[in-house]
Chain A
Amino acid sequence: DTGVSQNPRHKITKRGQNVTFRCDPISEHNRLYWYRQTLGQGPEFLTYFQNEAQLEKSRLLSDRFSAERPKGSFSTLEIQRTEQGDSAMYLCASSRTTGGAWEQYFGPGTRLTVT
């Protein structure tokens, strides 16, 4: 179990630029989640995949955000035309479908700073 990995760990970008983050979940986990966390707040749900299917997307998520999980393994989250309000920690988590406890395993996150 190598855990959930995320790249890059830090990203500084100028307003208006596009950024893409990658998440590699735990290999046997078929559920993958993206969250956003700002200082002093809990993680906020963005979107969820089961295998390659994106099953839910937060209504708070603007059209500038898009996520993919093309082969049901790794996932990418792209933010187009970044704004200063997008500055946050972006967390990826994965979980399995079998068993009674479906705890989520979080990656270390990608910290985005938009200048």
Chain B
Amino acid sequence: GQQVMQIPQYQHVQEGEDFTTYCNSSTTLSNIQWYKQRPGGHPVFLIQLVKSGEVKKQKRLTFQFGEAKKNSSLHITATQTTDVGTYFCAAGGSNYKLTFGKGTLLTVNP
């Protein structure tokens, strides 16, 4: 089945520093979604990427889908304490089910 690997597993930054998490697959992905899960919360949808080389921005967040559609990244500029949480990539497959990576836990030191 489909698998996505995410790195790093953990990232601790000082407030104001940038943060990037990477998602990789051995197979070509039809699409990829990103979710954020706050501590004690549930996953919340951030974005969906479908096209090869696609780049989407949401304020300080930039999402990229690789040209080969086998990798994706999420970059946060100038982190804030409100960015704390686990960021998951999820590969979209048949029946629209999602295969999630293990996530990157981001902690921010104020």
Spell out A's residues near B (CB within 8 Å): 31, 33, 40-45, 48, 50, 55-56, 91, 93, 95, 100-109
Contact = CB atoms under 8 A, between A and B. Distances in A.
Interface of B: 33, 41-45, 48, 50, 88, 90, 92, 94-103
B42 A109 contact: yes
A33 B88 contact: no
A108 B38 CA distance: 11
Contact of B43 (A48, A102, A106): A106
A95 B43 contact: no
A18 B44 CA distance: 30
A31 B43 contact: no
A106 B98 CA distance: 12
Interface centre among A104, A108, A109 (most CB of B within 10 A): A104
Nearest to A56: B95
A106 B41 CA distance: 10
B63 to A, nearest CB: 13
Given A101-B48, A103-B33, A43 B95 contact: no
A42 B103 contact: yes
A107 B41 CA distance: 9
Contacts of A101: 48
B87 to A, nearest CB: 10
Given A103-B48, A106-B44, A55 B95 contact: yes
Given A42-B88, A42-B90, A105 B45 contact: yes
A91 B43 contact: yes
